[in-house]
Chain A
Amino acid sequence: MITDLADPAIGQIQVSNWPGAFPSSGLSENSWRLFLKVYPMDRGMVNSMAMLGTYVVDSLNVFFKPRFPLQHGRTYQVELDLTNAYVKLYGKDLPDSWPAQLVKKINLPAAETITPPEVLMVYPSSDSIPANQLKFYLVFSRPMRQVDIYNHIRILDQKGKAIAAPFLELEEGLWDPSGQRLTIWFDPGRIKTGLQPNLKMGPPLTSGLQYTLVVDKDWEDMNGQPMANNFEKTWTITEADRQQPNPTDWKITPPLAASDSPLKIEFPESLDFAMLHSSLAVRRDSGPFLNGTTSFGPRECSWQFTPHENWLPGTYFLRISTDLEDLAGNNLNRLFDTNLEIQKKATLPQTFIEIPLLIK
């Protein structure tokens, strides 16, 4: 009768499988607020106050989304006042064969039974990055609390001392919709030559030195469970990268016709992890972009595309979005750190370029 999605990432209680053909959408969300109530329990006692939250109704279900997330290890009592809901809907008394009220306890498993969250990956995955590295990505195993981000991450120098103010501190952080991938920018004002932060503090990273990124274990996931261990990643800093990526330097290995072997592209440098996801696509002649799977090689120095359907003989085009960046934020149209007044006034920047691929 009352089912429980029990996944705090979803965080809702779903009520479905109504007796008879009770149409849940026959009552407004405000009515359901009166008839469907959820109470938290504490050591076996049901609280007398129903939880605040929002109600969403469709033809089969009522969803209750609590104002604050459901908690692991807690039991909630869901009470459905069928008697009054029925009267409200049909204007007559509930049939005797129906239960007057439905009560169900639902329990979320304790957090200890779930593995702690962890940092799965840091991109760039390379062990060396340029001194003008623009940003990096943390990929977590679960959605994380999106508060106090910059109290949980720091960059240590070789003596283990945290470097001051390395990041562009965006209040809520830049998270992907899943809450698992966080983009951290080094302070662009310190990277761009001639800006005040750059003149006063210099760039955050110095070439030739090593730095260690530390993600603190006290960072909690959405359910309040912290990581088990600190995460660390050490980078050696190379000279600042002041060259734009250039597709003519890429090694492109076309696949064979009538096969599903991958199209492989190797870059002479690491490219931006997130941009690689969105900046490359393949199509046959002027047809639609192909569906397929993409993957990256080590250090984000290569990209592979395997189409869902076999390659056919003929001409394909690799489309490259010109906002594809290297690690220093240089893209196909411009350097990240450039004086726009001096830069030659070129033709309007292109949004993409296409490279023909002859498949035999």
Chain B
Amino acid sequence: MKDLIKQALDNGISRRKLMKGLGAAGLGATAVKTLADTLTPATARAADAGPVSATRTITAQGGTLFTQQLKDAGVEFMFANPSTGDGPIYDSLVNEPGIQLIKGIQEGAVVAMADGYARLSGKTGVCGIANVGLPNGMTQLVNTYKDNIPVLMVVAAFGTDVAGRDYAQDYDHQEPMMSPITKWFWMAESTQGIPDVTRRALKFAATPPSGPVFLSIPDNLLKAEATAAIMDQKRFTVSMKVRPDHADVMTLAKMLIEAKNPIMTVGDEVTMGQAEKDVLELAELLGLTVAGQGGQGNWSKPFPTRHPLFIGGFQSTMRFPGEVDIHLNMGDQGAERPMKGATLISIRSNPTGLARANPVDLGMVSDIRLAARDIIDAVKGMATKERLKQIADDRSARTRDYHASQVKMREMIATDLNSGSEIKMERLAVELEAGLEKDTIYVSDCDSGRTMDPLLSWGGADKTYISTGPNILGWGVAAATGAKLARPNRPVVSCVGDGSMLFGGPQPLWSQARYNAPVTNIVVNNRSYNNERNRIWSFIAGQQFKTGKDMLCYNGSPDVDFAKAAQAFGVEGEVVKDPAQLKPAIARAKKANVDGRPYMLDINVARDGVGAASTWYPAYSIADQRTRKV
């Protein structure tokens, strides 16, 4: 050991080697650390930090340093559109088969593809967009941020040698404008530091509660060459699988066993935590009535909607189950609301969201799956199997009856509305339920179409539903493309309104065509921002309502033929106007998908609501204003 210490003092051997040697000499861990701290100069310890976490050191352009760090972090796809400054990034991929580029042709579509990929893969979606197009990408990044989806957005910024001179596409300090819609943002400060800021960005994006991050790399740093360490990303991966407090769990278990009329609400954090089966097991163990998911900001439906314990959306006051005494909220931001007379216990993986809008009686920060497991174990430890079965049977009888009545109610509605010459959304929903495969991933971006949702089956062994909480339209088709990339062996359907399709444009279809993404794209086309008009007229009840003049929301004149638009972008499709044609049209779409091609169904559905019959709009002819016919 004496030799080892001398060697450390004389030659400055690495801290790691020193500690290993001290350990081998018989010192305990604490003693080793203390001695090493004493013997190792601070500068040497700092220098050690790189090599310890590095998988390799390379000398390359900044663009290569960036993509090699991505590669070592397990990134397989990069969604992108080009800009001049990004050149070194894409140069680096010319001979790099480990990262597949997926090109989009508008920044919003690029971001939404990365977002859809992240939601379905559970991995961080990486997108590189043109610096000048950053605001385009920001529109879709709001969905990503609000729904806590891990995405790394990178741009090649103006070089440090010219930034701030007010060149045509330069504006000062673009990074801070990302602040409200990212977890973290940063500008790389050196070529050598690019791998380090990249691995840091990936860590922030993926660490729960996850979310989008923004990285700006000046283009001169991307072009310059440096020697830098590529990091082992796994060593920066932090587990956030936090268990709930044991005493709280025991208290909660007792309350759930003794409750007279408990309810459990479920939300997106169940999906994010992959806790679907565990939450279902908890519900069945105790016969808990389940509500929530969908609406009120949720983007997923983790609990099987056809399960007899599920009763639909959550409200603070509900006819069924009536007066609740215990409200257990499992990861649903929207359902964390007081119910009169009930004790609210909210378990959230997102500590920022917990008790943010409303008070809770017992708030618990925990991984949702671990919390469900611990509660299950605690409950099983407090009551016999026979007693628990009796409790579950007694409680669930009412819920099962209510659930059955709702199924009957929906069937009655679907039958009643399944007539007439126009296609109603409910009819479309019935045809989709019958025609889509049970393992379909259904990507919904259709505000008016929410009445379709209860007529289809979600969760468990049924279809997977994903949407966005904020409803920033224009997301669906691009997100479905990313979803198909993440889950190529499952059917993927996008269902968007004509409003959403006009926001997002046909650009995502171009990516579907280029990359042979077999996605069925449904446009629920009522030629209107239907719900927007309804809200404007009803909430305000102003002059538009009083005069019947729809100033903005009617999307007809000209009527857009989305099938033709799709064809122009390389995707075949058809317009469907006759209810009888829905079934064969869906079959044709499925056949195209089976053959490896995307398909577009432009389904003309009836408008409904305030002013639905009116096609009036404030007409104006620019041509008529001319005094010279040019």
Partners in one complex: no
